[in-house]
Structure 1
């Protein structure tokens, strides 16, 4: 199986922590040069230092910029004109009852979760097409299919990502560029860990595995694994779909959801 990404360059948005950091680490292990993206140079440099400590042979580099804005994307693309692999990972989530979500929140979630990937894909995919090889991956969610009642605005953005991913795959068909989305289920990232700790305040429970299993049982009861996925488990799928081994996989919505989604197609 050809998983070698030596000589390839990648950009992983939102990669100073969580799933994005795990994806960057996995791509570095396959030999790619990986742009580490965050909004501040301080966070980016801290992530790069950590990655270098974990993999001294890896080649991470700074790709600072706020990809939630058109200006931030323009500045990032000006500094980094071409990449072979784009992983649109940047995203935000927030539990909030539907009737309490103002217009500003709907727009903010759409700008961060959807438009960041639209703008970056529009900037980088033409170069991939011209070179005859490329990978674009959108980190969506099972929430794009199973809309969570506690954060409908988040689910909406993940559904939109699935539509954009498939449409872009159709657009670049036959060019050597593949476009896919990956659908994590509940995953033990730093953000989710903090979210669970807040939910568990006053309960006396501090063990993250136990909190995760309780969350899954109560909120994602169709899960077949009965626990949160690890960041590494999600990153493994993304690394595969970015590799030469996945050359026949395009336009797909690939699940790492622990079996939460019950439909078989």
Structure 2
């Protein structure tokens, strides 16, 4: 007999306040548009530039320019959001980067990926979670990737740091869920963003089930705000792959290596980046 699912504790059922990082394009932009359409008061944060300014002008979201790959940038984003919104009900940690290629990935690219894909979440949680615990509610949604549950051939820094993002989100959930803090990890596969467009031969692998639009991912996130399930899988097939990986890791790795060999027979576009 299963226990009844508890009602959502992390955010009010009615529209609240929300922040989206990495908001100037792709999934981030779609999240801003969806949250605004659903009635949330939204802060959109990204690196300074015309894309962020245009998004703000079109949607009415309040723009806060900040570099989430730095400790000072995270602090500026949180402070700017709180100055405009007051309490933050929902933080969508969407900013991320794919950097480097294979074992030749530079120290700088590894550091950037770690700072943005992992430490931005750590630094944000340090600033937000204590307040959420005190008031008894708050929700942190991490945009990770299917790469964070599986792997991304050709892109070790992305794979490792997205695993790190999922692992940190798991730790947050395990540590704070009884306090009213809800943590969710969004793990899509192929999404029609710049990263996917530049994925070279990996596009066939990423798009084997479906290539979703950023808006479809935003719809999946909006639906997930109605419950507290940890994993948000816009591509439901990822759940099957994830179970297969856990059930027989050796067999799964052998299968991934066969894919790697096929990619080597059809080399990646040297200008491409894995998504």
Which range, TM-score by smaller chain?
0.7 to 0.9
1:29-60 CA distance string (max 9 Å, x none)? 221111111111533221112324xxxxxxx1
- Once superposed, which parts of structure 1, at least 4 consecutive aligned residues long, lie more than 4 Å away? 1-7
CA spacing shift, 1:4–1:73, aligned 2, 3 Å: closer
What is the aligned partner in structure 2 of residue 102 from structure 1? 106
**TM value normalised by structure 1:** 0.79
1:4–1:31 CA contact under 8 A, matched in 2: no
Secondary structure in 1 matching 2:191: coil
What is the aligned partner in structure 1 of residue 237 from structure 2? 259
Q: CA RMSD in A?
A: 2.5
Q: Larger % of helix: which?
A: 2
Report the alpha carbon displacement of residue 95 of structure 1 after superposing the two structures with TM: 5.6
**Aligned counterparts, 1:68-217, within 5 A:** 68-81=69-82, 82-94=87-99, 96-98=101-103, 100-193=104-197, 195=198, 199=200, 216-217=203-204
**TM value normalised by structure 2:** 0.76
Q: How many residues align?
A: 231
1:40–1:65 CA contact under 8 A, matched in 2: yes
CA spacing shift, 1:15–1:24, aligned 2, 3 Å: same
Which runs of no fewer than 5 residues in structure 2 stay unpaired? 1-6, 247-275
Whether 1:234 aligns to 2:217 is yes
1:114-147 CA distance string (max 9 Å, x none)? 1111111221122222222211011111111221
1:27–1:239 CA contact under 8 A, matched in 2: yes
2:149–2:242 CA contact under 8 A, matched in 1: no
User: For residues 114 and 61 of structure 1, what CA distance do their matches in structure 2 show?
Assistant: 25
